[in-house]
Amino acid sequence: MSQGLKNIAKQYEAGSVEGRIYKMWEESGYFNPDNLKLPESAKSFCIVLPPPNITDKLHLGHAAMVAIEDVMIRYARMSGYRALWIPGTDHAAIATQNVVEKRLQKEEGKTRHDLGKEKFLEHVWKFLYETQSMIQKQIRNMGGSLDWSREAFTLDKPRAKAVSEMFCRMYGEGVIYRGHRIVNWCPRCESTLADDEIEYKEKEEKLYWIKYGPFVLATSRPETKLGDTAVAVHPDDPRYKEWIGKTVKISGVLGEFEVKVVADEVVDPKFGSGIIKVTPAHSFVDFEIGLRHQLPVKAVINEKGRMMENCGKYAGMTVAECREAIVADMEAMGIMDRVEDYTHNLSVCYRCSTAIEPLVSKQWFISVDKKLDRLGGKSLKEKALEAAKSDEIRFVPERFTKRYSNWMENLHDWCISRQIWFGHPIPVWYCQDCKEMTCARDEKLSECPSCHGSKLTQDPDSLDTWFSSGTWTFSTLGWPDNQDSKGNKTGDLAKFHPTSVLETGYEIITLWVSRMVMMSFFALGEIPFNTVYLHGLILDAQGKKMSKSKGNGIDPLDMIPKYGTDALRLSILLGNTPGTDMKFSEEKIDAAKRFVNKLWNISRYILTSIDLEKAKKTDIKSLVLTTADRWIIARSNEMIALSRECLDIEGRNYKISMLGEALREYTWSDLADWYVEIAKVEGQKDAILYHLLEILLRLWHPFIPFVSEEIWSNLAQKDPLIVSEWPKLLDIGEVENSRSQIEKIKDTVTAIRNIRAENKVDAGAFIKVKIASPSFGSLINSYREVIGKLARVEELEMVEALGEKMAGQFPFILDGVEGYVSVAVEDSGKSKEKLEKELSHYQILLENVRRKIDNVEFTSKAPEAVVAKEKEKAKEYRDIIEKIKTRL
Ligand SMILES: [Zn+2]
Ligand SMILES: [Zn+2]
């Protein structure tokens, strides 16, 4: 026997193994594909980690993300791909600024304005370094095999270069423009928000019916009347036909004013009275109507959410204060017709829940509809749609193609400027002398290219955080440096772009996935990734969203020391179907830990009972294989084939959970419960057991990398498991016959075991079995020792026909096998003793219950339900006692 194998610990201690193994991997350099021994022709497989926001430590959803991507990467690496997984973090501009602002308010009672931009940003960077290093540590703890030498941050120097290059190129081609447009404005963040940064909250409000010149109309926002520049009706509404094009006088709270009546298709004749007031400065719909009818835009609400100077006595009020005042004044003037209750969806800021104010403002936009010659005359939106519809980009699960396409089809120009301090600056300078605007890649522009003046100021806004994360697949691969003057990709970009898989949460399709596709088409004229694998949310055991405030969350940081990383990974990988939310509980992790221990124990058994060196040298094909050997090798081959199918890179098929469940079943049942037990009887299995173990560890490695690598280290292999080769099938010829035969043996053993269990036969007791099987007689005969051991049969009698059933015999019938199991013979003394013990136990219980029921004190005072329950118990105990008596 080889040296050292006796030293394998009895128990697997994740805590003492994981740190050491991760360090070994990291120091080996194998996370970096440049260090893998691969032929030049090796294909690339690349994933960019969706960069976690540096706003907080990682949660269970991130743990799932790391586990799923690590399975894909480890499989690709072992399958001979140039596997690259790029780590990184996201500065999350507006979200981070909000977190730091809240902290500042809580700890020092100050706002960002009290500190000023420079001091405030110092706070942000300090916070950022803390969380960033915590996140890096967590990803390492999760076992993620990422190439840390290529780590990126959305706000580091290389990404800043990519962002300003991207902006300047887009500006140069007219894809980025500056314009007065209506935007979603958060008065608290004092910044614009993209359409998908808005959430909707159902709110009980009022619908005000106001007398409006000759009309009566309904509005939920009477305060915006101060900014009305028209009323609109549907062109086909007969009630208002004669009014179209006319100017009407309206009496208002600040005196009389005039508006035009316009006809527009967008007006719903069924809402209110079919006529609406038009406030182009403060409503998206009205802004569009204003554009179509060249209406004046009169702003009355400012960027702090207060009424502007032009609002007379209402100036300076908040929107809510103004509404209250105006309603009172309208009532006093007699122009308030009536007020109704009204439930509607209020738009609120996704970061701070403040009600959104639509405002007209001068902002930067990306035109999604501008046709580009170099994209075949198509727009970014068209290219992004085409890629999904043609399956060039595959969504897993497929149903999300539709969600993506619907979103894309309705996409408007994307507002990319944000009025916040933390983020990428806009690379545009304004000249105070000649008023020219210059877009420049330089960090600081010192001379105006038009008039050579030096009084230049940079645009004070910063870029939407999704602008930088939109470049993530190529900015992490060295763009723009890795693109030559002809537009060809070089270096990492040529090797790894388009990337293979984007694995992310389905809730981020619109915010992020869609942007990445458009940005990649613009920069490189190609898709950013071949496959989008979407994972669901992890919910608590009741199916509710986990949250800190509800206290139902499971923190991966607490679980790893308790159960080990492998157990945590396995528990979130199994039962996890793409695109579907998953119920989760700590029990799942506990069950996974039990499996990890089981794998350890099987491996330990094999390694301590075989002659390793001899086993390694033996060619399985040179052995005479028994039926059981052929069966287990066939099962092992099946697992290999299934793994290739479930992790298939070229077919873009990822059924991780399905593979994991099948492997677990194979390991626990086929291998541990059956084959290892059969091997103990048949003997001489060193080479086969070694072969099975070696393959098993490779197959499990992507799921539970630590324990598999630790066991592997006892196999005296040249290379660590992480760079071992994915297993290949072992051809042993025809196996179908062996399969059906072993299945028959398993069924027979199971049938006998069932009868034992049903009759409460003592686990240690031996029984007698009589079997008649014209078709499988010789098979059963040759496996009589195995059956004897696994079903604890002391005497197995093979007969032509079973004959009449005697007392104490219990029958079983399988296809081709029939038998009688004799229960409670030989051992009757022991069983009888056990039954007698049980009898007296239940008699005592019954006596206790009876005493209660007979006690009037109890029955008169206790609630009816309690009394009924006691009576039920009494009946149950009486039944059990009867049953025991018949067996004695
Ligand atoms: Zn906000
Ligand atoms: Zn100038």
Q: How far apart are CA 415 and CA 178, in angstroms?
A: 9
In a domain, 756, yes or no: yes
Ligand nearest to the backbone CA of 193: 1
Residue 545: how many other CB atoms lie within 10 Å:
12
pLDDT grade, residue 834 (50/70/90)?
Answer: low
Q: How far is CA 688 from CA 380, 692, 716, in A?
A: 57, 6, 17
Nearest ligand to the C-alpha atom of residue 419: 1
Query: Is pLDDT above 70 for 22?
Result: yes
Question: 192 pLDDT band (50/70/90 cuts)?
Answer: confident
The CATH number given to whatever domain includes residue 822 is 3.30.2320.20
The band of 887, judged by pLDDT with boundaries at 50, 70 and 90, is: low
Query: What's the CATH code of the domain at 851?
Result: 1.10.287
- Strand segments, DSSP code E, in 351-446 are 357-366, 394-396, 414-415, 417-418, 428-431, 437-439
38-61 average pLDDT score? 94
**Confidence band (pLDDT; 50, 70, 90) for 443?**
confident
Q: Which ligand is nearest to the CA of 430?
A: 2
Domain boundary among 782, 798, 826: 826
Residue 411 lies in a domain: no
Q: Are residues 587 and 717 in the same domain?
A: yes
| Banded model confidence at residue 6, pLDDT cuts 50, 70, 90 | low
Cα 185 to ligand 1 centroid, rounded to whole Å: 8
808 and 728 in a common domain: no
Tokens 């069983």 label which residue? 831
Q: Is residue 373 part of a domain?
A: no
Inter-CA distances, 592 with 34, 379, 598, 845, Å: 34, 49, 10, 38
Residues 605 and 700 in one domain: yes
Identify the pLDDT of residue 84.
98
- Of the two residues 643 and 442, the one the predictor is more confident about is 643
Per-position DSSP letters for 104-120, written without gaps between them: HHHHH---HHHH-HHHH
Average pLDDT of the residues in 760-784:
91
Give the number of domains in the chain: 4
The reply to whether 114 falls in a domain is no
Q: What is the pLDDT of residue 831?
A: 59
pLDDT in tens, 588-617: 999 999 999 999 999 999 999 999 999 999
Do the beta carbons of residue 96 and residue 53 sit within 8 Å?
yes
Is 198 in the same domain as 247?
yes
Helices (H), 485-585: 491-496, 514-524, 556-563, 565-573
With 90 as the cut, is the pLDDT of residue 714 above it? yes
More confident position, 842 or 325: 325
Does residue 467 form part of some domain? no
Nearest to 730 by CA among 697, 683, 679, 694: 694
The alpha carbon torsion through 181, 187, 189, 190 (nearest 10 deg) reads 50
User: Domain containing 18: what range?
Assistant: 1-30+538-733
- CB atoms inside a 10 Å sphere around CB 850: 15
> Per-residue pLDDT tens for 235-244?
999 999 999 9
Residue 787 and residue 748 in contact, taking contact as beta carbons nearer than 8 Å: yes
Looking at residue 452, what is its pLDDT? Answer: 94
Residue 509 contacts by C-beta under 8 Å, 6 or more apart in sequence? 400, 403, 404, 407, 532, 534
Same domain flag for 654 and 764: no
pLDDT in tens, 492-544: 999 999 999 999 999 888 889 999 999 999 999 999 999 999 999 999 888 88
CATH at 15: 1.10.730.10
Mean pLDDT of 268-283: 93
Q: Is residue 569 part of a domain?
A: yes
Residue 3 DSSP class: T
Per-residue pLDDT at 164 exceeds 90:
yes
Tell me which of 733, 757, 772 is where a domain ends. 733
Cα(426) to ligand 2 centroid in Å equals 18
Nearest CA-CA partner of 24 in 570, 727, 712 = 712
Are residue 603 and residue 752 in the same domain, yes or no? no
Mark whether 662 and 724 lie in a shared domain.
Answer: yes
Q: Cα dist. 664→375, 403, 659, 679 in Å?
A: 49, 34, 9, 20
Secondary structure of residue 306 in the 3-state scheme? strand
Query: The sheet that has 198-212: what strands, in order across it?
Result: 215-219, 198-212, 336-349
Q: Are residues 588 and 665 in the same domain?
A: yes
Flag whether pLDDT at 1 surpasses 70.
no
Ligand 1 centroid, distance to 144 Cα (angstroms): 34
- The string of DSSP letters for 811-833 reads EEEETTEEEEEE-SSTTHHHHHH
Q: How far is CA 195 from CA 284, 427, 462, 798, in A?
A: 11, 24, 17, 78
Predicted pLDDT of residue 3: 42
Q: Which contiguous run of DSSP H or E holds residue 276? A: strand 275-278
Judge if 581 and 716 occupy the same domain: yes
Report yes or no on 171 lying in a domain.
no
Q: Which ligand is nearest to the CA of 453?
A: 2
Convert the pLDDT of each residue in 647-691 to its tens digit.
999 999 899 999 999 999 999 999 999 999 999 999 999 999 999
Residues 574 and 696 in one domain: yes
3-class SS of residue 258: strand
- Domain identity same for 574 and 635: yes
Kindly report the CATH number assigned to the domain that includes residue 264: 3.90.740.10
Please tell me whether residues 617 and 648 are part of one structural domain.
yes
Model pLDDT for residues 333-388, shown as the tens digit of each residue: 999 999 999 888 889 998 888 999 999 989 999 999 999 999 999 999 999 999 99
Residue 750 domain-assigned (yes or no): yes
Name the one residue in this structure whose structure tokens are 């030096």. Answer: 454
Distance 468 CA to ligand 2 centre (A): 29
Tens digits of residue pLDDT in 449-496: 999 999 999 999 999 999 999 999 999 999 999 999 999 999 999 999
Instruction: Say what the pLDDT of residue 189 is.
Output: 87
Centroid of ligand 2 to alpha carbon of 456 (angstroms): 8
**435 CA from centroid of ligand 2 (Å):** 6
Question: Distance from the CA of 118 to the center of ligand 2, in angstroms?
Answer: 27
Q: Decide if pLDDT at 825 tops 90.
A: no
